[in-house]
């Protein structure tokens, strides 16, 4: 997505060879118009197949783009919780997600009330790195007996193995921007060029 | 807001005399069209004064309605973090927020890059109960030297003292629904009637 790549080039900060900071429009401050454009892009891509009935994401940075995507499809958004919320009941799907950074395993949950075998789910998230969170969401879709339309990712770090893991497992992954390399020394972000 | 009150009556679950569960459209599953309507309502209410330059909320449940509100105003959304995120820097405004439920004090943060003295900020959140989180956000606006347009709240529990605290402090608080009472026995939600 051209507009997104321009925004990344203008405002993205390379923190290291493996971490890109995009707090100014995606992870802390959010650009609403860009977020709407991303939702429309995901809709264009995923509306051609079987009818999507739910958009599934995970708190917090997935919510904004998950919402604008759900808006285009005219379906509800569900966001997985990383920690127990005040009113979360015990009837939940649970998935374990390993964090390489924190070196710990955490649970993510989705209430059974909001995903059923009748659903055709589109997973949306902001970053795809090692794919653990994405696989956790896939597991929840599978536990619900729902079918998976695919995964829409805003920024895929193609130098990490999440994309490969997911595609090798047969899932359809569509990223608005794929980063091949973060050159920390030259402060240069290299994208995979659009076909 | 009539549409919201109807939704609360249809789908809200009274968990106790003080807690209402609205997971099906506000806190876990999100109704995108309703969320857009809420954003338009907040815009109608707060667009009459000095020009709002930023919408400020707090992760996670404030993000969706914060986004649709920011969309109407054509300004960025900023969401305060409750815990350190991967790329959060040390140049942050910090505020302590006490949780009566957890009986602990936590810190919420907003990067100094995203709030300045030139901003006129509209705070948006899903629930107003004891007002601690709202006061935390107000403190951050004040630390930035920004002015406060007011606070837009989806559901105010008027039987708790958050609304009174904020209004007594001189802040303009506008709630889309004010709940006077949660009758756990009769399973009845009592709203303050619209003027
Ligand atoms: N800005 C930025 N973030 C990255 C990058 N790579 C991964 N992340 C995000 O950092 C967080 C790291 O998550 P961990 O669970 O600790 O996973 P990991 O160490 O195994 O990668 C995740 O945020 P999250 O769970 O989505 O948090 P939230 O923002 O939704 O609260 C992930 O999306 C990157 O290059 N830049
Ligand atoms: N559903 C529901 N939630 C309520 C009600 N009253 C308060 N809350 C929410 O519960 C959470 C309680 O926060 P605490 O910080 O523990 O505060 P408290 O015990 O002093 O009220 C907050 O969610 P949060 O921080 O906004 O969490 P998140 O949903 O954004 O992750 C608050 O908005 C209620 O009657 N119903």
Is residue B85 very low, low, confident or very high in pLDDT (cuts 50, 70, 90)? Answer: low
Nearest CA in chain B to A83: B60
Is residue A26 very low, low, confident or very high in pLDDT (cuts 50, 70, 90)? Answer: very high
Element (H, E) at B46: helix B32-46
Q: In the prediction, which pLDDT does A195 show?
A: 64
Percent of chain B exceeding pLDDT 70 equals 97
Ligand 2 centroid, distance to A41 Cα (angstroms): 33
Residue A55 gets the label, from left (phi > 0), alpha (psi -120 to 50) or beta, of beta
Average pLDDT in chain A? 96
**B88 pLDDT above the threshold of 80:** no
Among B8, B52, B60, the residue to mutate for chain A (most A Cβ within 10 A): B60
Q: How many Cβ atoms from other residues are within 10 Å of residue A163's Cβ?
A: 23
Q: In the prediction, which pLDDT does B166 show?
A: 98
Is residue B183 very low, low, confident or very high in pLDDT (cuts 50, 70, 90)? Answer: very high
Q: In the prediction, which pLDDT does A84 show?
A: 66
**A13 pLDDT above the threshold of 80:** yes
**Which residues of B lie closer than 8 Å to A, measured between beta carbons?**
15, 19, 21, 23-25, 27-33, 35-36, 59-60, 63-64, 67-68, 70-71, 74-79, 81, 85-88, 101, 110-111, 113-114
Q: Residue A107 — φ and ψ, nearest 5°?
A: -100, 140
Among B28, B36, B113, select the one facing A114 at the smallest CB separation.
B28
Distance, CA of A107 to CA of A171 (rounded, Å): 22
Burial class (CB in 10 A: 0-12, 13-18, 19+), B13: middle
Closest by CA to A29, choosing from B69, B92, B78, is B78
| CB-ligand 1 contact for A24 (6 Å cutoff) | no
**B87 pLDDT above the threshold of 80:** no
**B4 pLDDT above the threshold of 70:** yes
The pair of structure tokens assigned to B190 is 């009592």
DSSP helix/strand/coil, A6: helix
Greatest Cα pair distance, chain A, in angstroms, is 50
Is residue A192 very low, low, confident or very high in pLDDT (cuts 50, 70, 90)? Answer: very high
Overall average pLDDT of the B119-134 stretch: 98
Q: In the prediction, which pLDDT does A85 show?
A: 67
Overall average pLDDT of the B118-122 stretch: 98
Nearest chain B CA: its distance from A33 CA (Å)? 7
The pair of structure tokens assigned to B140 is 């951050």
**B147 pLDDT above the threshold of 80:** yes
Nearest chain A CA: its distance from B100 CA (Å)? 12
Ligand 1 centroid, distance to B182 Cα (angstroms): 39
**Segment B32-78, tens digit of pLDDT:** 999 999 999 999 999 999 999 999 999 999 999 999 999 999 999 99
**CB A155, CB A173: distance < 8 Å:** no
| CB-ligand 1 contact for B60 (6 Å cutoff) | no
Element (H, E) at B73: helix B62-73
**Segment A104-145, tens digit of pLDDT:** 999 999 999 999 999 999 999 999 999 999 999 999 999 999
Is residue B89 very low, low, confident or very high in pLDDT (cuts 50, 70, 90)? Answer: low
Nearest chain B CA: its distance from A65 CA (Å)? 9
| CB-ligand 1 contact for A81 (6 Å cutoff) | no
Q: In the prediction, which pLDDT does A90 show?
A: 75
- The residue with greater pLDDT, B101 or A40, is A40
Greatest Cα pair distance, chain B, in angstroms, is 50
Name residue, tokens 């891509």. A45
Q: Which domains does chain B have, with CATH numbers?
A: 38-179 (3.40.50.2020)
């Amino acid at each position: 997505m051209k507009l997104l790549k321009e925004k990344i080039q203008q405002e993205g900060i390379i923190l290291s060879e493996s971490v890109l900071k995009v707090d100014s429009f995606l992870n802390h401050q959010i650009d609403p118009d860009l977020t709407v454009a991303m939702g429309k892009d995901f809709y264009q891509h995923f509306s051609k197949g079987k009818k999507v009935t739910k958009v599934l994401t995970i708190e917090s940075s997935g919510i904004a783009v998950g919402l604008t995507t759900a808006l285009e499809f005219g379906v509800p958004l569900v966001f997985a919780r990383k920690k127990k919320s005040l009113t979360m009941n015990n009837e939940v799907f649970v998935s374990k997600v390993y964090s390489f950074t924190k070196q710990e395993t955490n649970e993510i949950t989705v209430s059974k009330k909001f995903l059923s075998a009748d659903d055709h789910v589109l997973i949306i998230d902001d970053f795809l790195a090692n794919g653990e969170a994405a696989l956790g969401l896939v597991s929840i879709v599978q536990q619900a007996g729902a079918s998976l339309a695919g995964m829409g990712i805003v920024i895929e770090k193609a130098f990490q193995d999440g994309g490969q893991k997911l595609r090798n497992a047969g899932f359809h992954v569509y990223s608005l921007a794929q980063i091949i390399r973060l050159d920390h020394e030259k402060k240069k972000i290299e994208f995979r060029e659009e076909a």
